[in-house]
């Protein structure tokens, strides 16, 4: 049976079958840093998943999925109650060479296929998988990359600041205030962010706010609290920001995420 709880040990590399599926319902969960010899697909019909990789952080609200290449160290954090689905693929069955992390929007057919495949018996013969796999890969290769990831700077001073921001949930500072916090000039910080993330500080800061808004809206906190924690001057300013970047109000998004 492919449905387990949070306390059941599980190692997808321990199965000889080419595709391993898993379904579970979890509350708050942190997997710790790990990796698999198989490539992994992560998807949550309900709740929110955050995936942290080497210098990259991805957020997966419902209807989004992440592809993690084989042998890629990563950490998975789950927020609120998550209906968790995952598939692991042996490299030998892949019709393409996915060598980078990819976050995509799922269409109804892919969602239905993942739901079926996540419950496959762990001793299912490969011959019985092939028809579903062919349809899955055909659909997957037509998915579009979603802008739900954030590259992390490698500069030690900035990494320390980011760790503090995540632990305290304090609003991100202006570039001038950040300059004072880390002891580097604004010009230096501007160069560092562009070089190490490919983004300006302002663009990086806005993407940070969007991804953390998605995470926090999956938790039982008020929209006013989310707006405050992200440093918006008012609820209406946050709502306008979120609608501009996501196409929904925070309330509309929350209805989908927590239903």
Following CA atoms 152, 153, 157, 158 in sequence, which dihedral angle do they give, to the nearest 10 degrees? -50
Query: What DSSP string runs through 183-212?
Result: T--HHHHHHHHHHHHSS-HHHHHHHHHHHH
Number of domains into which the chain is organized: 2
User: What pLDDT shows up at residue 242?
Assistant: 96
pLDDT in tens, 131-141: 999 999 999 98
pLDDT score of 45: 84
pLDDT of 6 > 70? The answer is no
Contacts of 52 by beta carbon, 8 Å cutoff, 6+ apart: 58, 74, 75, 77
Does residue 113 lie within any of the structural domains? yes
Residues 15 and 136 in one domain: yes
Indicate whether this model's pTM tops 0.95: no
Q: Is the pLDDT of residue 199 over 90?
A: yes
- Same domain, yes or no, for 24 and 134? yes
**What is the C-alpha to C-alpha distance for residues 86 and 16, in angstroms, rounded to an integer?**
17
Kindly indicate the confidence band of residue 62, based on its pLDDT and cuts at 50, 70 and 90. Answer: confident
pLDDT confidence bin for 259, thresholds 50/70/90: low
Looking at residue 169, its pLDDT comes to 80
Pair 209, 232 in one domain: yes
With residue 59 as reference, give the H or E element that holds it.
strand 56-60
First to last CA, the chain: 26
19 in any annotated domain: yes
Do 120 and 189 share a structural domain?
no
Same domain, yes or no: 30 and 111: yes
Domain carrying residue 101: 3-140
Axis crossing angle, helix 250-258 with helix 235-246, rounded to the nearest 10: 70
Above pLDDT 70, what percent of the chain? 95
């Amino acid at each position: 049976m492919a449905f387990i709880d949070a306390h059941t040990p599980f190692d997808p590399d321990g199965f000889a079958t080419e595709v391993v599926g898993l379904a579970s319902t979890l509350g708050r969960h942190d997997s710790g840093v790990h990796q698999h010899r198989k490539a992994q697909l992560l998807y949550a019909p309900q709740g929110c998943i955050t995936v942290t990789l080497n210098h990259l952080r991805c957020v997966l609200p419902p209807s989004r999925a992440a592809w993690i290449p084989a042998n890629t160290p990563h950490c998975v954090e789950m927020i609120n109650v998550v209906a968790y689905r995952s598939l692991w693929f042996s490299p030998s069955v892949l019709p393409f060479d996915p060598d980078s992390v990819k976050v995509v929007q799922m269409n109804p057919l892919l969602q239905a296929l993942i739901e079926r495949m996540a419950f496959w018996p762990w001793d299912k013969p490969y011959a019985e998988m092939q028809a579903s796999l062919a349809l899955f890969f055909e659909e997957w290769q037509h998915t579009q990359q979603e802008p739900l990831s954030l590259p992390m700077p490698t500069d030690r001073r900035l990494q320390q600041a980011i760790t503090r921001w995540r632990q305290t949930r304090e609003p991100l500072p202006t570039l001038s205030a950040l300059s004072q916090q880390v002891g580097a000039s604004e010009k230096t910080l501007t160069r560092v962010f562009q070089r190490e993330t490919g983004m300006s500080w302002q663009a990086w800061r806005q993407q940070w706010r969007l991804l953390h808004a998605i995470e926090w809206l999956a938790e039982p906190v008020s929209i006013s609290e989310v707006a405050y924690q992200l440093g918006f001057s008012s609820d209406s300013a946050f709502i306008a920001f979120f609608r501009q970047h996501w196409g929904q109000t925070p309330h509309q998004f929350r209805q989908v995420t927590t239903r």
